[in-house]
Structure 1
Amino acid sequence: MSDRNDGGVLVRIERRRRWSDEEKLAILKETTEPGAIISSVARRHGIGTGQLYTWRRHLLHGAMAGFVPVELATSSPPPKAGEAGRIEIRAGGGLTVSVGGVVDRGALTLVLDVVRGLDH
């Protein structure tokens, strides 16, 4: 008998890792730093580069919960103490949703879900 390997295959089972939106965003931010190398960031976190590109695509399409592009407008003076503010949400195709004063959270969530559905 020889000491050669019998040709068997070693199989390693890995548990699927769950990343929170905050963790994903932090990792994606690392990839945008000057001089960052995507493969190095991925290796440091134990993930593949394809996963980073998938997260980036989801972020850009607004598909990940908690990721919504925001643009701050400074054209109007800030509200005085006790005054209600105003929010404008602009979507593709010139659609604008304006929210002023106190708003019902459930109603706003429903409106934003509909607006997100229009982008797809």
Structure 2
Amino acid sequence: MDRDKDSARIGRLEVVETGRRRRWSEDEKLRIVMESLQGSRQVSATARRYGISRSLLLKWRRLFRAEQNEAGPRLDFVPATVIAEPAVPTGGGAIEIELAAGARMRITGVVDEATLKAAVAALTDGRTR
């Protein structure tokens, strides 16, 4: 019958395994993207290390940047360092605030809570929470 004729035409049928499709969690993607941003020429090396294509890693990086831009300016906590200074006469003191962007403010004298809040708001363009 026709079925026998079709099977006679197929000489050899080979199944090629392309590998298992990997599902990456959002945390894994973020970790890989952050690793690829560590230095120059890290995209290809990072992609090879995790067995993904360079183009997929670049796509994840674009998505990461888009999410960062949508979130707007991000305020993070940074480590604070207390530096011992010579004793200041009573009734005075000094506070120095430096942000990661490089802006710096030094306030000397008696500083109450309202003054400190106003100074921080001015230094960060009013984006404090």
Task: Give your verdict on TM over 0.5.
Answer: no
Q: If the TM-score is normalised by the length of the shorter chain, which range does it land in? A: 0.3 to 0.5
TM-score normalised by length of structure 1: 0.45
TM-score normalised by length of structure 2: 0.43
